[in-house]
Structure 1
Amino acid sequence: MSVVIVIPARHASTRYPGKPLVDLRGASGQARSLIRRSWDAAMAVSGVERVVVATDDDRIREHAEGFGAEVVMTSALCRNGTERCAEAVANLGLTPEIVVNLQGDAPLTPAWFVEDLVAGLRAGPGFDVATPVLRCTGRMRADLVADRHAGRVGGTTAVFGHDGQALYFSKEVIPFAAGDFGNEDPSPVFHHVGVYAYRPGALADYATWGEGRLEGLEGLEQLRFLERGRRILCVEVESRGRLFWELNNPQDVPRLEEMMRAMNLD
């Protein structure tokens, strides 16, 4: 019943080149790179057999090996993190029960997000993939809306059915909801947390499919599964007082650092 975490990391990001090596300063002012913080987040997850950084860039490899990470080199032709995870698992000859893709731009991902995700996939045999969703407060929803109004691609939102089956993911703020919500009040919008748990067979299949139409329009890799009729389970996770945001744009660096100061995270 093994679980392997793969952290896909590439240097040639269109929106933010070199993002994995960007430093983030914690509450004490200590600077650690984004990929190091993502590795630390993965290492805090219980019940994991192995954590691997998957990259196509020697700068990331050298930096990650420098702080003790296991690194596997993958092709520069991988179009997204899911393809990179599939290649990493194949290159290493791994046969785990579940593969977790902890994308290297979410350093504030709490361990219980991943643990709840794995538990959800284990309990849902009819699903090929699972991914966490976090109900937005009014403030979080307002931040997402503000990003869109400013022309920035910020967080992703998810809509799902009564059984948790994903219906759609978008970089727009969906579903539409009229009116305002108090800063700490719950809203009907769910922030998609960029972590995935795959059954190995579904992950291997993904790598053989071409890019989907909706995937290409939205720039969201998980839509390839939906376009192929594969079922994705949305697992609602609890913040437990933790703030969460992903590093999508350079403007997110001060936002993340402010969050770490507010939570006294180093």
Structure 2
Amino acid sequence: MKTAIIVPARYASSRYPGKPLAELRLPDGSRKSLIRMSWEAACRVPGVDGVFVATDDDRIKDAAEGFGADVIMTDSACENGTARCADALARAGIAPEIVVNLQGDAPLTPPDFVSALIEVLRADPEVQVATPILKCDRAKYDGLIADRKNGLVGATTAVPDHHGDALYFSKEVIPWLPADVAASDDIPVFHHVGVYAYRPAALAAYQGWRVSQLEVLEGLEQLRFLANGMKVRCVEVAGQGRQFWELNNPGDVARIEAALEAG
């Protein structure tokens, strides 16, 4: 197995308990659970050898097996999706060259975003972790700012260096912009799309590190890599007019349904 996608899902979300089983309305009026839509998004990625749902909850396990997913039961102590992917890899006894974490709250993730990460790891053996970033257009930037003004914590922003490696990730909208730049059409803010590709060695290292203070403060698992000196390659992808909202808060259901309706 060269490439595997793992879809981590937990029931006990602090901001949205039971989130993976939340149902979204599709354009045809039918409804599907968030975990099913995320699994289907993973299945659309070409050239992948296996797709697995990783969870510690029997309700999610039963739902996922009901729509045909392969499920790996993981430790309930896994504190985030990266840790759950590492645990799933060890428990399943599989040894892919590349592991993709397509989080169970990201059903709008296009296959080409995931393919771009896989291609970067295949092309450069020095890259241990890769994740997509998307330059904000006006609508996205204004939405991020509005959320923060309303006290909502959701989408993440990323600041890459000149080589494409992450300097930092934050739940705040960074970098801070002067008023004239914030009002321009060229907004130098990158939305971080919550998908990761790792080499198994990076996952093993992650499991051996203690939880970092930045990771706790921001609630962002990828900061453990940066805190321990491991680079995270930011791969810029093209939005092509598509909106990418993860389901972080109950109010995001309407945003995702609107994006699905818009096609």
TM bracket, shorter-chain basis: over 0.9
Number of the residue aligned with 1:243: 243
1:4 aligns with 2:26: no
For residues 218 and 23 of structure 2, the distance between their equivalents in structure 1, rounded to whole angstroms, comes to: 28
Number of the residue aligned with 2:220: 220
Residue 29 of structure 1: how far off its partner (Å): 1.4
Residue 126 of structure 1: how far off its partner (Å): 2.1
For residues 56 and 43 of structure 1, the distance between their equivalents in structure 2, rounded to whole angstroms, comes to: 21
| Paired residue type of 2:205 | D
For residues 120 and 230 of structure 1, the distance between their equivalents in structure 2, rounded to whole angstroms, comes to: 16
Indicate if the aligned counterparts of 1:26 and 1:261 stay in contact, CA closer than 8 A.
yes
Number of the residue aligned with 1:113: 113
1:41-56 to structure 2, matched below 5 A, reads: 41-56=41-56
- Superposition RMSD on alpha carbons, in Å? 1.1
Gaps of 5+ in 1: none
1:101-140 to structure 2, matched below 5 A, reads: 101-140=101-140
TM-score (norm 2): 0.97
Indicate if the aligned counterparts of 2:140 and 2:243 stay in contact, CA closer than 8 A.
no
For residues 164 and 26 of structure 2, the distance between their equivalents in structure 1, rounded to whole angstroms, comes to: 35
Indicate if the aligned counterparts of 1:175 and 1:189 stay in contact, CA closer than 8 A.
yes
| Paired residue total | 261
Identical counterparts, % of pairs: 60
Indicate if the aligned counterparts of 1:121 and 1:233 stay in contact, CA closer than 8 A.
no
- Any idea what the Cα deviations from partners look like across 1:171-217, whole Å, max 9, x if unmatched? 000011122446xx441110000000001001011111110011011
Number of the residue aligned with 1:198: 198
Gaps of 5+ in 2: none
Indicate if the aligned counterparts of 2:41 and 2:107 stay in contact, CA closer than 8 A.
yes
For residues 127 and 181 of structure 1, the distance between their equivalents in structure 2, rounded to whole angstroms, comes to: 35
For residues 166 and 29 of structure 2, the distance between their equivalents in structure 1, rounded to whole angstroms, comes to: 39
Give the secondary-structure state (helix, strand or coil) at the position aligned to 1:187: coil
Number of the residue aligned with 2:93: 93
Residue 121 of structure 1: how far off its partner (Å): 1.9
Indicate if the aligned counterparts of 1:129 and 1:231 stay in contact, CA closer than 8 A.
yes
1:29 aligns with 2:29: yes
| Paired residue type of 2:54 | A
1:65 aligns with 2:65: yes
Residue 36 of structure 1: how far off its partner (Å): 0.3
